[in-house]
Chain A
């Protein structure tokens, strides 16, 4: 049983800050907050400090959570046991906030200006309950050198969520009591009259259930076999009749070091060869709790004079959705050497994910469709190694460990013609048979047109008008023309490999742990600095832009009207590799004789730093950019990863 109460931090947007021209003043001569930045950014970028100064700490959130479990277990008939576990996780999140009338100053007009003409209060409360039940029957027996464990059971998981929210606002002209920014006692919606109010709710229930069967067998702890079977049912697929599906796996291992021929050597302490094959299901329905019931959503209202009638339209096309399945096999070994100081575990893995659940963009104006699609292969090698030892008999314990996972990602099939691609994210991401899933797609930049002569002598371009200073694309297909067919794969958002290191030191009562990780070989596509509607803060690279013959052969002219330079190309592709010191923790454990005097069993204090430093090569705030199954690694503006300092005490009574 455990419970927690947390007050989440108050995060503010940073996209304005990264786009705002840094040369502009934030305050006027009187020290009042200015509204807009220079004219060329107006309407698109506001003073980013407005948010920080006038809206910070206007939000009060509390998350309460209690989780616990009870179980009953009986052993009977010598080899049987039956265990029932019931666990409950109950979380309540409450939130209330004030959106004040913001007064700012604008050099163009005398006096103060109100950014908005009404103030509003919002309140919301949500409850999430997860109840899990496990009923497991176990049989464990040995027949001579044969050891057998059989397990059968049933597990259920029920999730229920509901939230209720409301808000009220008052126009500046109606205000009798203005909501104070510094008195949160008034930040409840009852502080504002009901004239302009809104409310909302959202809720869902999900249920899954699984039957399990598993057999573990070994002979002399030397030859190991296991087989498991599960039958999973999920409420999300119920309405289309695909509730249930069967999944299984088989594995075998050979502990070579148990063989008699290995007894005479001391170099190798443990060696196990292992392999497995299996298929697992996923009900990852992209955040839809009722994916087979696309809801009729309010889609704008018909208005006839003052008569307002809400229209509804279906969210997406309903499809015969079922379980996403991953077929995986792997083979490898575990090796311990030098008195177990060195541990090494390399594994080759090969996974094929079939019937991936994706939201497929509709053609023309047709609705998107949530459907099962295609086969994608991921394969590679996963190696982990560690070394642990002690220096001096009472001295320093240390351990070093490292891991590396390589990734080779390829689309095997999209369930359509082999030449038929699927595009996502406005054509930036393409998936096509034989290529990595969601690879970045566009033109390859060969340089920048230097002068009229260059424009004339280079291949004719039917993509769009070009002039000196514009990006010059490569004739990829060699037909002597720049056309849409010269687009190609210009990056892969899946890394070549990921890796990590950690160091743990123990000296007397002190302990120190350092954890580092990195990603290598993926590409990021940058869209956050799209200058379509205003001049945003440029990257420093733009200092080296083309501004006359011979000035640059990579950075195009500074002119947002030249559409050709905004077309998807590898000009926007960045290296997504990074390395991060993820965690450092220093602890001190008190001696037990001291503790006994204060009736404590143990006491440890520690200091921790998370995300101390990340070395990146991309221009956005963070290199870690998510996305969907078919479009990821596209940086449309990210939130920086916070560095977190923690000081803590662990007490046991």
Chain B
């Protein structure tokens, strides 16, 4: 009996210890078929995060969707929400008619998405700094990645500071959710950070990338963005220096005919300074993973073969009337269409595809944006949504016009005249009777000519509202356009209510909201 008792306890002890040993191992479960932090290997290449930045900057709320278009473009007199009256009616009131409301979803998404880029860039910069501490040196690839992170952080902060003015200066790594809850910094401090970032970016970004990396950020993109950020501050001499640097680099020219620039054949043309790359493949014919909704959001809102998209961001009659007589750029900016049941003979066929789109009867716009108009044969191959359509963010003609404007403001009207003529000459093409050279040497007249040229050369390309704001003419122009809701306070958007709520008093609403 006693013997049996002992055996029994031995068996129990053995069983328990087997289970115990086996199970302690089993408690150590690691993700299956997934990558986690640390898997990059020590000293990582940061490339994966950097590539994420490229995907982010193409994102719906940053550059390709209604969010970006509403904030950058609807607020001008030349573009409006479009679509039908009931589609996004509240967004129309907000961005076309300036009835700002802090709960608007688009400003919330814009805020969050720009900070996502910033916070990821901060992480990359912190990782690289740690790696530099450990290794004592950085490879060429690391330096490039670091420059890219600086570039994208500047890009996102530039978006935020223009839209909201003072914003939280999150320029450090976020370890805990609460770390990002900090008060706003003055716009001047944000611009100082942008300057520092772009200077750092310019230091190590390559002048050109080999074809396999076409569209990757270059020195020219950083320098041109820098010029743009000086432009927003009316810092003429720095703006001039930056723009002229890009011109003198010799990497860009205006040899691409205007009617080629926005066609698929004109992607990454000789005047592409910063162009977001989008594509489609047989297995991903319409995917934000490799493409964007840029063309879909602005596509003709029709039925069947003309269901190209939602028909947002449309040119106004004022845009149409802005062009000088015979300016070929008009037909490259406006996409003509008829409504269901309309008479096709009332509109010209859109070139180069000879198409006459038909939109739904209740759309409220007169034109669509031709700078988001896709090739019909690619539509047949992939989807009607045009996910492959590149987004041209900075074109060389923009840089040339920045140089012209800065030169004129610095009193070098003659130089401004030559830069302006470069842009007009290209637009003129082979037809010498069009778009005569501007020959005034009066600074004010030249200023008007350059402002006009920016408006038509860059029509429907985002930042018209910011041009009006920095020139101090937003109120006059918008009131003249019938947008009498605009007041000086509307130059800045309200801080999203959601962020103010989450911050529990740390974030303070902009004045007058």
Task: Write the residues of chain A forming the contact surface with B, with a CB cutoff of 8 angstroms.
Answer: 35-36, 39-40, 42-44, 76-77, 82, 84, 106, 108-109, 113, 117-118, 133, 135, 137, 154, 156, 158, 162, 171, 173, 195-198, 201-207, 209, 233-236, 238-239, 243, 289-290, 293-296, 298-314, 317-319, 360-369, 371, 417, 419-421, 423, 426-427, 462-465, 484, 531-535, 559-564, 566-568
Q: How far is the CA of A515 from the CA of B175 in the complex (A)?
A: 51
Evaluate contact between A312 and B52: CB separation under 8 angstroms: yes
Evaluate contact between A196 and B118: CB separation under 8 angstroms: no
B192 part of interface (Cβ distance < 8 Å): no
Evaluate contact between A314 and B283: CB separation under 8 angstroms: no
Q: How far is the CA of A202 from the CA of B177 in the complex (A)?
A: 28
Classify chain B: how many residues form its interface, as a range.
35 or more
With a cutoff of 8 Å between Cβ atoms, the chain B residues found around residue A314 in the complex are 37
- Residue in chain B with minimal CB distance to A205: B29
Evaluate contact between B115 and A366: CB separation under 8 angstroms: yes
Q: How far is the CA of A412 from the CA of B175 in the complex (A)?
A: 26
With a cutoff of 8 Å between Cβ atoms, the chain A residues found around residue B111 in the complex are 364-365
- Residue in chain A with minimal CB distance to B339: A108
With a cutoff of 8 Å between Cβ atoms, the chain A residues found around residue B12 in the complex are 82, 137
Contact segment of B435-443, B444-452, B494-502: B494-502
Evaluate contact between B30 and A290: CB separation under 8 angstroms: yes
- What are 13 inter-chain pairs, A to B, with CB distance below 8 A? A39-B360, A137-B12, A154-B16, A290-B31, A294-B36, A295-B35, A304-B214, A305-B211, A312-B35, A365-B114, A426-B498, A533-B87, A560-B86
Evaluate contact between A305 and B268: CB separation under 8 angstroms: yes
Q: How far is the CA of A441 from the CA of B154 in the complex (A)?
A: 36
Evaluate contact between A427 and B101: CB separation under 8 angstroms: no
Evaluate contact between A423 and B501: CB separation under 8 angstroms: yes
With contact pairs A299-B55, A301-B55 given, residues A307 and B212 touching in the complex (Cβ less than 8 Å): yes
With a cutoff of 8 Å between Cβ atoms, the chain B residues found around residue A77 in the complex are 5
Evaluate contact between A296 and B37: CB separation under 8 angstroms: yes
Q: How far is the CA of A109 from the CA of B359 in the complex (A)?
A: 11
With a cutoff of 8 Å between Cβ atoms, the chain A residues found around residue B432 in the complex are none
- The total of interchain contacts (Cβ-Cβ below 8 angstroms) comes to 300
Which residue in A204, A362, A464, A532 is a CB contact (below 8 Å) of B177? A362
Q: How far is the CA of A84 from the CA of B55 in the complex (A)?
A: 55
Which residue in A235, A305, A561 is a CB contact (below 8 Å) of B214? A305
Evaluate contact between A567 and B29: CB separation under 8 angstroms: no
Evaluate contact between B84 and A40: CB separation under 8 angstroms: yes
Evaluate contact between B170 and A293: CB separation under 8 angstroms: no
Q: How far is the CA of A420 from the CA of B212 in the complex (A)?
A: 50
- Residue in chain A with minimal CB distance to B277: A303
Evaluate contact between B55 and A302: CB separation under 8 angstroms: yes
Which residue in B52, B102, B288, B499 is a CB contact (below 8 Å) of A364? B499
- Residue in chain A with minimal CB distance to B181: A363
Evaluate contact between B383 and A423: CB separation under 8 angstroms: no
- Interface bits B31-68 vs A (CB < 8 Å: 1, else 0): 11111110100000001111111111011000000000
With a cutoff of 8 Å between Cβ atoms, the chain A residues found around residue B340 in the complex are 108
Smallest Cβ distance from A221 to chain B, in angstroms? 31
Which residue in B92, B118, B213 is a CB contact (below 8 Å) of A365? B118
Supplied contacts A76-B4, A364-B168, 17 more A-B pairs, CB within 8 Å: A39-B362, A76-B5, A106-B304, A154-B16, A154-B20, A201-B33, A235-B28, A293-B30, A293-B34, A298-B289, A303-B278, A318-B37, A365-B113, A420-B504, A534-B87, A559-B89, A561-B90
B23 part of interface (Cβ distance < 8 Å): yes
With a cutoff of 8 Å between Cβ atoms, the chain A residues found around residue B5 in the complex are 76-77
Which residue in B31, B177, B303 is a CB contact (below 8 Å) of A293? B31
Q: How far is the CA of A289 from the CA of B53 in the complex (A)?
A: 28
Q: How far is the CA of A413 from the CA of B310 in the complex (A)?
A: 46
Which residue in A171, A173, A207 is a CB contact (below 8 Å) of B26? A207
With contact pairs A204-B32, A364-B115 given, residues A40 and B51 touching in the complex (Cβ less than 8 Å): no
Q: What 8 A-B pairs are tightest by C-beta distance, nearest first?
A: A365-B115, A300-B55, A311-B52, A561-B89, A365-B116, A311-B51, A302-B51, A302-B54
With contact pairs A42-B360, A234-B27, A366-B119 given, residues A427 and B497 touching in the complex (Cβ less than 8 Å): yes
Evaluate contact between A563 and B104: CB separation under 8 angstroms: yes
Evaluate contact between A304 and B216: CB separation under 8 angstroms: yes
Which residue in A108, A309, A366, A426 is a CB contact (below 8 Å) of B180? A366
With contact pairs A108-B303, A300-B56 given, residues A203 and B16 touching in the complex (Cβ less than 8 Å): no
Q: How far is the CA of A50 from the CA of B50 in the complex (A)?
A: 43
- Residue in chain B with minimal CB distance to A421: B504
With a cutoff of 8 Å between Cβ atoms, the chain B residues found around residue A313 in the complex are 48-49, 52, 120
B471 part of interface (Cβ distance < 8 Å): no
Evaluate contact between B213 and A531: CB separation under 8 angstroms: no
Which residue in A206, A298, A419, A426 is a CB contact (below 8 Å) of B504? A419
With a cutoff of 8 Å between Cβ atoms, the chain B residues found around residue A84 in the complex are 15
Which residue in B32, B86, B103, B509 is a CB contact (below 8 Å) of A203? B32
Q: Which of B132-187 contact A (CB under 8 A)?
A: 168, 170, 174-181
B325 part of interface (Cβ distance < 8 Å): no
Which residue in B112, B179, B213 is a CB contact (below 8 Å) of A307? B213
Q: How far is the CA of A173 from the CA of B498 in the complex (A)?
A: 47
Q: Which of B477-511 contact A (CB under 8 A)?
A: 497-505, 509
Q: How far is the CA of A113 from the CA of B500 in the complex (A)?
A: 47
Evaluate contact between B58 and A484: CB separation under 8 angstroms: no
Evaluate contact between A465 and B99: CB separation under 8 angstroms: yes
Q: How far is the CA of A203 from the CA of B361 in the complex (A)?
A: 50
With a cutoff of 8 Å between Cβ atoms, the chain B residues found around residue A35 in the complex are 303
With contact pairs A302-B51, A313-B49 given, residues A363 and B499 touching in the complex (Cβ less than 8 Å): yes
With a cutoff of 8 Å between Cβ atoms, the chain B residues found around residue A158 in the complex are 26
Evaluate contact between B87 and A43: CB separation under 8 angstroms: yes
Evaluate contact between B35 and A156: CB separation under 8 angstroms: no
With contact pairs A109-B304, A154-B16, A423-B498 given, residues A39 and B504 touching in the complex (Cβ less than 8 Å): no
Evaluate contact between B99 and A306: CB separation under 8 angstroms: no
With contact pairs A304-B214, A313-B120 given, residues A563 and B90 touching in the complex (Cβ less than 8 Å): yes
Q: How far is the CA of A367 from the CA of B122 in the complex (A)?
A: 13
- Most chain B beta-carbon neighbours within 10 Å: one of A77, A109, A361, A559: A109
Evaluate contact between B92 and A308: CB separation under 8 angstroms: no
With a cutoff of 8 Å between Cβ atoms, the chain B residues found around residue A233 in the complex are 27
Evaluate contact between A117 and B383: CB separation under 8 angstroms: yes
Which residue in B48, B116, B504, B513 is a CB contact (below 8 Å) of A311? B48
Q: How far is the CA of A113 from the CA of B384 in the complex (A)?
A: 13
Q: How far is the CA of A154 from the CA of B112 in the complex (A)?
A: 48
- Residue in chain A with minimal CB distance to B59: A300
Evaluate contact between B51 and A196: CB separation under 8 angstroms: no
Q: How far is the CA of A171 from the CA of B180 in the complex (A)?
A: 47
Evaluate contact between A531 and B52: CB separation under 8 angstroms: no
Evaluate contact between B87 and A301: CB separation under 8 angstroms: no
Which residue in A156, A207, A290, A309 is a CB contact (below 8 Å) of B51? A309
Evaluate contact between B290 and A303: CB separation under 8 angstroms: yes
Q: How far is the CA of A562 from the CA of B90 in the complex (A)?
A: 6
Evaluate contact between A311 and B53: CB separation under 8 angstroms: yes
Smallest Cβ distance from A18 to chain B, in angstroms? 18
Q: How far is the CA of A426 from the CA of B51 in the complex (A)?
A: 29
Smallest Cβ distance from B63 to chain A, in angstroms? 13
Q: How far is the CA of A18 from the CA of B421 in the complex (A)?
A: 59
With a cutoff of 8 Å between Cβ atoms, the chain B residues found around residue A82 in the complex are 12
Smallest Cβ distance from A466 to chain B, in angstroms? 10
With a cutoff of 8 Å between Cβ atoms, the chain B residues found around residue A309 in the complex are 47, 51
Q: How far is the CA of A242 from the CA of B204 in the complex (A)?
A: 44
Evaluate contact between A133 and B19: CB separation under 8 angstroms: yes
- Most chain A beta-carbon neighbours within 10 Å: one of B53, B56, B59, B87: B87
With a cutoff of 8 Å between Cβ atoms, the chain A residues found around residue B28 in the complex are 235, 238
- Residue in chain B with minimal CB distance to A40: B86
- Residue in chain B with minimal CB distance to A292: B36
With a cutoff of 8 Å between Cβ atoms, the chain B residues found around residue A301 in the complex are 51, 55, 289-290
B221 part of interface (Cβ distance < 8 Å): no
Q: How far is the CA of A563 from the CA of B103 in the complex (A)?
A: 8
With contact pairs A108-B360, A300-B288, A363-B177 given, residues A209 and B49 touching in the complex (Cβ less than 8 Å): no
With a cutoff of 8 Å between Cβ atoms, the chain B residues found around residue A319 in the complex are 176
Q: How far is the CA of A40 from the CA of B85 in the complex (A)?
A: 8
With a cutoff of 8 Å between Cβ atoms, the chain B residues found around residue A294 in the complex are 36-37
